[in-house]
Amino acid sequence: MKKKISIIALFAIMVITYSCKKGGLLDESSSTVLNEETTFADSINTQAFLTRIYQQVGFQYDIQYLDAGGHAGASDEGVTGRYNGTQNSGVIIAFGLISKSTTNTDFRDMWSVPYQNIRRVNVLLQNIGGAPLSAATKKGMIAEARYLRAWYYFLLIRAFGGVPLLGDKVYDITEDFTLKRSTYQECVNYIVAECDAAKADLPTSLTILPQNYGRITQGACMGLKSRVLLYAASPLFNGGQYATSGEVHDLTGYASYDKERWKKAADAALDIINTGNYSLYVDNGPTNRPGYGFYKVFQMRVNSEYLFAAMRGAQREFESFLLPQSRSGGYAFTVSQQMVDRFPMANGKAITEAGSGYDPANPYVSRDPRFANSVIYNGAPWILSGNNNAPVYTYVGSGTTDAVSGPLAFNAGYFPRKYLLENSTGNGERCWGLIRYGEILLNYAEALNEYSGPTAEVYDALRKIRERAGITPGADGNYGIKANATQDEMRLLIQTERGVELFMEEHRMWDARRWKTAAVDFEKPIRGVKITKTGNVYNYEYVDVREHHFPAHYGLFPILASEIAKNTALIQNAGW
C-alpha cells in the first residue's frame, strides 16, 4: 500500500507497538506479535514503526513530567504547586537532589528515551529496504528517520555533553559493548550533517501534503540546525565548560572559544528567515485584543509559526494539570515572581526602567500583553462555568482555594495561562510546538549580537517579536528597545526577551545553563506575591516561596551509574 497515512491515524493502526525495553544503549527490541520480518514486510506496519519514533519527540511535555511543572519548575519560571518530594525530574533538579545513582524515572528518561528511539531509527534504516513501499516513499521516510535521530541526539548533548554516536549500527544485547563518548564537537558536526542530509529529501512546509502535516519538513531540519549551532556557540560549550582540563573537557565542549561559531549560528537562523516560509502568527481577536495572536498560536494545530511540533489528539492535558483548583485544575505549577518581573510594560520598557510607567500599587496594569496572555494573576478573568468569566482571586482572605493561604503546598500567587483553552469543556486539537519561528528570530538576534554587536538586523528581529506581542511602537518605532544599546545591554535584553517569549516552552532551564547564569539565577529562593486586601485596596508583599538550588556542576547532568556499569568506557561529567 502506497497511500500516505497521517500520524494520528497510524497511532490508532499500530495497536501492538514494536517497542524497546526500558533502559539505555543496550536495550533490545521486543515484540509479542510483530518482529522485524513481519513489521517491514507490511507497508502500514513499516510506516507505523516510523510513527512510533515520532511519538516521544516531545516526551517532556507528557503528563508524567508536566505533573510537577516539568522543567519550568526546574528553572526560575515557577514552582510545583503541590509536591514536597522527589516525584518528578523538575523537582529533584530544583531542590539540588540529582545523583548519578538516582532512581527517579523521569530523570533517567533524559538518557534512556533518546537512545531507545535512536535504536529504533537504526532498526528502521536496516530493514526498510525490503518494505513494500515505493522508492520515493522510502526515500522520504529515511530522511524523516535521520532527522528524528538527530533530534534525539540533540536532547542528549544539551543535557550531558558529548555522548556515544552509534552510527547506523543496531547493537545486540549479547555483544561485548564498550563504546566511548564522542566529543561534543563530533556530536554537533554529526547532528548538523544529518539535518543537512535529511533536508535534501524532504518537502517544505508549503509543499507538504495536508494529510502529512506534522511530519518532518525542511524547516524542521533548518530549525534544529539553528538551535544546535546556537548552543554550540554559547559560553557553556564554546570553550567555557566546567571541566577545565583532561579528556572530559573535549567531551563536554570545544577545546577553546571561537567567535566564528556565533557567525555559523546567525547564518543558520538567517537561512530560515530568508525562506519566507514562516511568520509570526498575528490575530488581534474579535475585540481588538493586542497580542492575541501570541496566545492563539498555542491553541492552533496548524499555523505559520511551527517548524517542528509534537502532534497530539484532542485533549485537555494542560488544563487538567495547570489550571487553579477553583477551575477544576491540578494546580501542578505556580508562576514565580521572577518570571512575572521579566514581562516589560506595554511600552516595552522594563518595570525598573525610568519612564516605564510601572505602578507598584497596580503592578498588573499596562503590562506587555504577553503577561496577561501567559499568566493568571489576582483578579484575572477565567472561565468559571459555561462561557461565564469570573476573576481568579489569590489574595489572602479571598475564601478561594487559589489563595496563597489556601491548600497548595507551595503557591507563588500566579498560575499559567499560556497554552490553556479559554473554555470550560471543549477539547483542543493543538500540538506542542518544539521549534517555532519566534525562537528563530531570537536565535538570530542573539548570535548576531554576539558576533557583530547590536546591528540594525538585531533590532529588526526583536521589533518583529515585540510588534506581534502587542507592545506599542513608541515615537522611535523601537517597541521599547533602547536605542544605541551596547553589546552587553543588548545581550541582557535578548536573554530577558527569550524568557518572556519562550516562557514554558522548555527553554529557560537550558538557556540559563548554556549562558552559565543558572548557578546564579537558580541558586536563590523562588519568589512569590502575598496579597492582602484592605477595603478595595490590594497590598503586595513579595516573599520567598521555596528554596531553589542549582550548583555549578549542574551545567551538565551526570551519566547514570547504571549506564557506566553497562558500558565502562563512558567517562563521567565533571563534578559527579
Q: pLDDT digits over 302-335, tens only?
A: 999 999 999 988 888 888 888 888 888 877 889 9
Confidence tier at 370 by pLDDT (50, 70, 90) = very high
| Cα–Cα distance measured from residue 12 to residue 263, given in angstroms and rounded to the nearest whole number | 44
Asked whether the beta carbons of 264 and 270 are under 8 A apart, the reply is no
pLDDT mean over 372-395: 88
**pLDDT value at residue 319:** 87
Q: In this predicted structure, which of 139-153, 217-231, 286-300 has the lowest mean pLDDT?
A: 286-300
Measuring CA to CA, how many Å separate 108 from each of 90, 97, 163? 12, 13, 15
How confident is the model over 332-365, as pLDDT tens digits?
889 999 999 999 999 999 999 999 999 999 999 9
Asked whether the beta carbons of 41 and 375 are under 8 A apart, the reply is no
Q: Which residues contact 367 (CB under 8 A, 6 or more apart)?
A: 343, 344, 345, 346
Which candidate, 205, 70, 55, 54, places its Cα nearest to that of 505? 70
**pLDDT value at residue 199:** 99
Asked whether the beta carbons of 58 and 310 are under 8 A apart, the reply is yes
Asked whether the beta carbons of 253 and 184 are under 8 A apart, the reply is yes
Percentage of the chain beyond pLDDT 90 is 71
Helices assigned H by DSSP within 7-104? 7-13, 36-40, 43-54, 63-66, 89-94
The DSSP output letter for 28 is: P
| Cα–Cα distance measured from residue 548 to residue 524, given in angstroms and rounded to the nearest whole number | 6
Reported as type and span, the H/E element at residue 227 is: helix 218-233
Please check the confidence at residue 73 and state whether its pLDDT lies above 90: no
| Cα–Cα distance measured from residue 446 to residue 458, given in angstroms and rounded to the nearest whole number | 8
**pLDDT value at residue 66:** 65
Compute the C-alpha angle 173/178/184, nearest 5°: 115
**pLDDT value at residue 391:** 93
**What is the set of domains in the chain, with CATH numbers?**
292-546 (1.25.40.390)
Asked whether the beta carbons of 431 and 306 are under 8 A apart, the reply is yes
Asked whether the beta carbons of 112 and 119 are under 8 A apart, the reply is no
**pLDDT value at residue 179:** 94
Confidence tier at 2 by pLDDT (50, 70, 90) = very low
Q: In this predicted structure, which of 426-435, 457-466, 486-495 has the lowest mean pLDDT?
A: 426-435
Q: In this predicted structure, which of 64-68, 216-220, 369-373, 535-539 has the lowest mean pLDDT?
A: 64-68
Asked whether the beta carbons of 233 and 554 are under 8 A apart, the reply is no
Bridge partner list, 241: none
pLDDT mean over 478-506: 98
Confidence tier at 19 by pLDDT (50, 70, 90) = very low
Please check the confidence at residue 57 and state whether its pLDDT lies above 80: yes
Q: Which residues contact 362 (CB under 8 A, 6 or more apart)?
A: none
**pLDDT value at residue 12:** 38
- The answer for 541, left when phi > 0, alpha when psi is -120 to 50, beta otherwise, is beta
Please check the confidence at residue 255 and state whether its pLDDT lies above 60: yes
pTM for the whole structure: 0.93
Percentage of the chain beyond pLDDT 70 is 90
pLDDT mean over 522-536: 95
**pLDDT value at residue 124:** 98
How confident is the model over 112-165, as pLDDT tens digits?
999 999 999 999 999 999 999 999 999 999 999 999 999 999 999 999 999 999
Q: Between 20 and 504, name the one with better pLDDT.
A: 504
CB-based burial of residue 203 (10 Å sphere; 0-12 exposed, 13-18 middle, 19+ buried)? middle
| Cα–Cα distance measured from residue 52 to residue 75, given in angstroms and rounded to the nearest whole number | 30
Q: Are strands 388-392 and 375-376 parallel, antiparallel or unpaired?
A: unpaired
- CA 349 to chain CA centroid, Å, is 26
The alpha carbon dihedral of 4, 118, 191, 497 has a sign of positive
**pLDDT value at residue 436:** 98
Q: Is 236 helix (H, G, I), strand (E, B) or coil?
A: coil
Please check the confidence at residue 33 and state whether its pLDDT lies above 70: no
Please check the confidence at residue 567 and state whether its pLDDT lies above 80: yes
Please check the confidence at residue 520 and state whether its pLDDT lies above 90: yes
Q: In this predicted structure, which of 94-108, 134-148, 192-206 has the lowest mean pLDDT?
A: 94-108
Confidence tier at 29 by pLDDT (50, 70, 90) = very low
Cell, residue 219: 524547516
- CA 457 to chain CA centroid, Å, is 25
